[in-house]
Structure 1
Amino acid sequence: MKTLLRSIDPLQFVALALLGLPTLALFGLGMFWLWQTGHLIAWLIVMAVCGGLAYGLQIWSVRRRRKLLNELFTDSNPDWPPRAADVWQEVETLADSCDPQDWPLDQTGWIIELGRRTLHTVSSYYFPDTERPLLELTVPHTLLIIEQASRDLRRDVTENIPFSDRLTLGDLLRAKRWKSRAEQAYNVYRAGRIVVNPINALFGEFWRLFRERSFTLARNEFQRWFLRAYIRKVGYYAIDLYSRRQPLASTDLQTPAATPPLTSALDLERAQQAEDKLAEPLHILVLGRTNAGKSSLINALYGKLIAATDILPDTTYELSPALLQRDGFTQALIYDSPGCDSVFYDAHQMQTAALEADLILWVTPANRPDRQIERRALDALRAAQATRLNRRPPPLLVAVSHIDLLRPANEWQPPYDLTDQLNVKAANIRAAVAAVAADLSVPVTQVIPVCLKEGKVYNVKDTFWAAMLAEQDTALRVRLLRCLDADKRASDWALLRRQLRNAGRFLWELPDKIKE
């Protein structure tokens, strides 16, 4: 302060005071006139009301700006595996707990530290038994996450923050350098104003408090949004990579934002590859015990005989695919399988097939209460699926067949209303559905009673097809992760071959480079 006072020319100070004196005198005389006419209290009330309204409008503007910024937030991907949803909750918790006061944007250390915390949060979920899970992330993957998050954040800032494309880092540094000097000069002005006109200084300080409060709210709101957006984007791409949705060698960087228009032949080629991936048929696996009606269900779905059915114990020796096409349903390959109680049933083969399936149809007879072997086979499939954290388990529908054999066995007059308490057949069908749901640990809404006997097919083309259509979106998400997993494995092998080829070329040319 003393240095600043010594640097001020007294003559310049007097000149500035003379220039401001008429304005200060006008304000003082106006206050004196208001006091003389008895309007000073009314003026103070009006000023307070206007100040309160201005402050309220500022708060409303901040909330409106917060709502607009929240719309730019990266959200979770519905195509992620179920485990990724839990990881995303942790990322959101970390983002919400980020206080702008602890992470000033003018200090670049926040970029590295917040990125490290976000990556540690994600990696701890995927490597819970590792002492330092963050080190399980490769250097190229780390760079890819930073690249993608920075690209998206740059787009959001450029599109939504005015003049962000004009202000340079030098401008910010110069503004910070002159900030302290400007504050010192302003403090001298404030002290002089108190001496010349105390009332004017009092109201000036009042308005300055409102302005600083409004500016601080807006600045903190933007800074909070910026930090939270950064954490969410880093977390999003980290989960994408840990879920094996993002091949490292792929140049087609997926983004949670809208896909830009195609502008090049390369874009068209990538779009064609995406369409080919979406054209991959669904894989539907039909499982169940011997003579439960697996092949008959496939026949009923097609409406014509395409699978072998017989009265022999089992006619299916291996997985037999058939192409399933129907209006409103995605093209699918449906696989028949040997019965889970058959000598041809290979548990390991069926588990592998179930891991590659997008929808599983389980067929169980209503007249066979001994379902222990079915439950063991189904639990083995569930246990195998639970080990695949980067994949969604396929939805399961259970078809309860042979309902025509339930008591009274001689009666068969469909359709049956399962809510009818007076109809004995309907009551027995309802009881069989509840028993199957309990024995196989399946929600009762996923259990559909059907009749598959030739000439008596019932509840397949309406209720069972409706259930399959209801599960179609979930099955498509399972298919997407299956295709991405296959692409990831293929790209990993292609990358390894390219790395070995480039390394061999480098070693081959190394002697010539040394000679040069």
Structure 2
Amino acid sequence: MVEHGWLILFIVTSISFGGALRLVRLALAWWQRRRAEPDAPPPEKLRARIDPDWSASDRRAFEAARLFIDERTSEPLPWDQLQPVALEVIRRVADASGHRGKGVLDFSVPEALLLVDRVAVRLRADLRDRVPFVDSVRVGTLVRLWNYRHVARHAAVHGRTAWRVYRAVKSLPVAILREVEGVIAEGHASLVTEEGTAVLQGLLLEEVAVAAVDLYSGRLRFSDAELLGLRRAAGEADLDRLASPDKPLRIAVAGQVSAGKSSLINALVGADVAETDAAPTTEHARTHVGDIDGVAVLFLDLPGLDGTQRVTDAVLKELVAADLVLWTIRANRPAREIDRATLARFYDHFATRPARRMPPVIPVVTCVDAIVAGWPFPENLLDEVAMARVTEIVKAVAREVADGGLHPVPVSLVDPSWNLDALRHRISAQLGEALMAQRNRLRVETRKPGILDEAQRAGRGLRQGLSFFRPRESEDKDKS
């Protein structure tokens, strides 16, 4: 090419061809992004792992933050802008979690320290599983490498320049071709790097959203060991239970006076543990031990609702601290306004507390035998007339008590009992949700320390501080 005078033409043609290829590549990438659906994430999008125990409100808060993250990371962000975007993610989670106006850092110092502890444990596990020779690398070595990073960068730049000069001296045409290939490859690498940066930033912001959801839902208020201690303390009022953290479940049995609550508990336990003829004068729950499909439970026999404010408040206090609710309604008692009003207050309690997970409610229509003539039936099988009558009562209860939103289970508790197995299956199907409600209740509804608690905590700290001086005083006395 030098002999024929083609060198300049070859260089210009090569550079033009490389530039044209880069422009075509960028145009294709832009065209593909324009054709892609705006709401569909790219198939290689990395997503943060979420807790399967999250409530519906927790998932809604995270999805609200995820939509914002996808919008902001459609293009890579400057790294100095990542912190304000992360604060906006926390603010959106706080607003969606019912903490609007309280600030993005509305959590205590112990909660923040627990978050750091969990992140450190997770990072340690990732390093040991995915980074080779991590156990052999010393922190001092990493510090020295970081201190000499500028020297290494300059050495790499000078080495690459020397290699390019050597390649040009050895064969100029080959060196020009390699330079053109480098320009094209640099364009591809730049685009890949930008896409990877956006994906990495989106993943980091989603991890921030996950941590924010855990913070504002109360999951980072206590560690697992502390949560176990809270479970034990909360159980002392019932049975001083020292079982595993997920047992026993508190099943509250509520309803009007003489609705069959105690008889229902005896039928489910399989023994006469609850007094059925007691006068309805007590305002305190009576606790009975039982199990459902091998899961230990505590049946709370609540006072019968009589329409008075005092009894209603006492029952509601126990209901909001339960893990599952059995609401008994007599089939032959048409007056159901007390049940409807009390259930409405129960629902309102959780509607105003989005961080709480409402325990499942199972309405139970008792005394079915009192509305059907000819009871009991042969082999305990109801005929068409009796079944139609029971269905009519069940629909009326569902409509009048919960606007049709609940599906009552009709039972008869006289010997021989009827449809009790169906009720047990219904309770078994709700045990998982009851367990989630228990975990949520112990995390969220733990009592915040008052002035007396803080004073006691300060006293313990003061005594601990003074203890450092006591050995020295005793030593001085010995010397004297």
Using structure 2 for the length normalisation, give the TM-score.
0.69
Q: What is the distance in 1 between the residues matched to 2:130 and 2:198?
A: 15
Pairwise CA distance, 1:377: 1.1
Q: How much has 1:181 moved relative to structure 2?
A: 8.1
For 1:102 and 1:183, the matched residues in 2 are separated by 28
2:184 aligned to which of 196, 209, 222: 209
1:410 to 360, 374, 391: 374
Letter in 2 for 1:96: D
Maintained 8 Å contact 1:319/1:337: yes
Counterpart CA distance in 2 for 1:363 and 1:337 is 11
Listed one character per residue, the Cα deviations across residues 404-444 of structure 1 (whole Å, up to 9, x for unaligned) are: 2335x235426557xxxx81211221222222112122766
- Tell me the secondary structure at the aligned position of residue 273 of structure 2: coil
Q: 1 CA distance for matches of 2:348 and 2:157? A: 64
Where does residue 304 of structure 1 map in the other structure?
A: 271
C-alpha spacing 1:497/1:345, structure 2 compared with 1 (3 Å):
closer
1:289 aligns with 2:249: no
What residue in structure 2 maps to residue 125 of structure 1?
A: 96
Given candidates 48, 53, 58, the residue that maps to 1:74 is 48
| Maintained 8 Å contact 1:103/1:110 | yes
- Whether the aligned pair in 1 keeps the contact of 2:246 and 2:439 (CA below 8 Å) is no
Measured after TM superposition, the shift of residue 466 of structure 1 is 0.3
Give the Cα separation in 2 of the matches to 1:244 and 1:496: 24
Give 1:475 deviation, angstroms. 0.7
Aligned pairs for 1:181-330 within 5 A: 197=173, 201=176, 205=180, 208-210=183-185, 212-213=187-188, 216-217=191-192, 219-247=193-221, 250=223, 276-278=243-245, 280-310=247-277, 314=280, 317-326=283-292, 328-330=293-295
- Residues in 2 aligned to 1:68 and 1:102: alpha-carbon distance in whole angstroms: 15
Contact 1:123 1:134 in 2 (8 A): yes
User: Structure 1 residue 225: deviation in Å?
Assistant: 4.0
Q: 1:172 to 1:388 in 2, by over 3 A?
A: farther
Q: Structure 2: which 5+ runs fail to align?
A: 7-20, 33-41, 228-241, 470-480
Q: Tell me, yes or no, if structure 1 residue 482 matches structure 2 residue 436.
A: no
Superposed, which structure 2 residues align to 1:13-32 within 5 Å?
A: none
Query: Please, what is the CA RMSD of the aligned residues?
Result: 4.8
Cross-structure match for 2:399: 438
Alpha carbons of 1:233 and 1:216: their partners in 2 closer, same or farther (altered >3 Å)? same
User: Which letter maps to 1:429?
Assistant: V
Match of 1:379? 344
Deviates more, 1:379-388 or 1:469-478: 379-388
Structure 1 residues 175 and 405 mapped into 2: Cα distance closer, same or farther (>3 Å)?
A: farther
Q: Does the 8 Å contact 1:247/1:488 carry over to 2?
A: no
Indicate the residue corresponding to 1:361 in structure 2. Answer: 326
After superposition, give the CA deviation of every residue in 1:87-107 in whole Å (9 maximum; x if it has no partner). Answer: 221232233334285434xx5
Which digits, 9 at most, give the CA deviation of each residue in 1:143-195, with x for residues without a partner? Answer: 554564465357547754789979865576667778988999999999x89x9
Aligned to 1:241, the other structure's residue is in SS state helix
- Residues 1:158 and 1:171: Cα distance change in structure 2 (over 3 Å): farther
Report the number of matched residues: 417
Partner of 1:467: 426
One-letter code of the match for 1:318?
Answer: H
* Residues in 1 aligned to 2:367 and 2:356: alpha-carbon distance in whole angstroms: 34
Q: 2:68 aligns with which of 94, 97, 110?
A: 94
Shift of 1:287: 0.6
Shift of 1:343: 5.7
Task: Report the alpha carbon displacement of residue 278 of structure 1 after superposing the two structures with TM.
Answer: 1.6
1:260-294 deviation digits (Å, cap 9, x = unpaired):
xxxxxxxxxxxxxxx85525411111011122211
TM-score (norm 1): 0.65
